[in-house]
Structure 1
């Protein structure tokens, strides 16, 4: 295992956010950096510790975002997690212990299929709750689109989501499309507002724990109190809010739980590392599993 230098990683991320799909030689030329030094950094960290991923506007794709909490017995946790990861509409999950002991999952559900969410979740647990979640502050109006592309677009979106720096030669081979066609497809996604952009992410397990809370009251004091911390805020349906505070298992869990519980009505601890191997080893095929092969729309969330 290589020794990580966080300054080198942050330097590489800064460059890749500036030139997410640019060649290393071009980046070195534009920034006045020694090419071989940049290549050594890239070969050292890219792929395992640094990744450039595509970001999509799922609202324009007709997908609604939900967060679900399922009670799962400890002995069945990994078995259920494996089953859930077969469903591409379940896009993320982690182990939680608190107001629900089991799994916290993020769902992207086609707008016309939200009536089937209960039936889908009962496949994995008899005790669950879920909420539609929006960014904070929420947009005043959301206009949900629909899937209106060929199946090749779903494959392309998966490739770019998994690694936006995948060489064009490889993408061409995977899709069976010419490079000009692929460039047209990428530009089409951008013009339609589906592809928001490419962003470099650090894949270092700095935060492997989280405190998650749900409350019906948004106390502005909590935003001010945790302004300088890794915290995310979301708006749930039924006039509720969700907070997540990320931290390391090396930090004192009890103190953080006690402090955070003052601001929420329901609280749980997230263990991101317990199911991380399942998520990491899953072949990335989200949109290409969601979408029908004929491109006519989404498959049923109950198929999996």
Structure 2
């Protein structure tokens, strides 16, 4: 049998070629595994390129809690979020508005989020990708999933939503067993001079009480506040809107003198000690952080007493 001899230079050539192919394959694999720097997000106003993993987000209205719940860093937030005692994480985050263009520029954000009513959108777009949402276009849980999509964390958002709905509905059944299937609950709030009563989608725990737990609202509340979201009323009219139980989202330095009136004192819920007061500053919102606190609060006041 003849031995086949391969010239040395040919062996070297084959070896170099094999190494090159190996490096090229390795490089190709690494490139495929590497996450792109941006993704295309389908916003209300059309497709927009946003960071795959944003690290310097500015929220100009409403959604700071959603961003924090998904563990995405914030560098600027609106005043309402900043004053929320629940948002301790925002202590060192800058307070900004849609008119603080220079201040926002200095923060060097990689993503800006706000409601569709914010001003200076075109100027903000020159600083960073800017995404806005119309309040109420999505329900409160769909909104969180949508922000999850924006932040490239859709699966995390969906998992929380599914778990939260299940827990809230089970606890709602427990509460109805305790207070009665037909018991009504109303949610009121004060400001400097007015009182408000809320429907089922205006924060203040209304989404949990009415949508998830299925508790009933008084007929007058349903008539006047359900469609618009809230209704302004006088203290004299409050007895018409008062449920068997009342949640009072209270602005401590606002209009509270109505609580001393005979009209208020004669409301059955007041006489039975079934009015539950809570700090309005952290009860406004309907993001996951606030919702978890609201759920715990409702369990405490309805089931632990």
Tell me, yes or no, whether TM beats 0.5.
no
Give 1 or 2 for the bigger CA radius of gyration: 2
Indicate the structure with greater strand content. Answer: 1
Q: Which has the higher contact order (CA 8 A, sep 6+)?
A: 1
Alignment TM-score, normalising by the size of structure 1: 0.26
Indicate the structure with greater helix content. Answer: 2
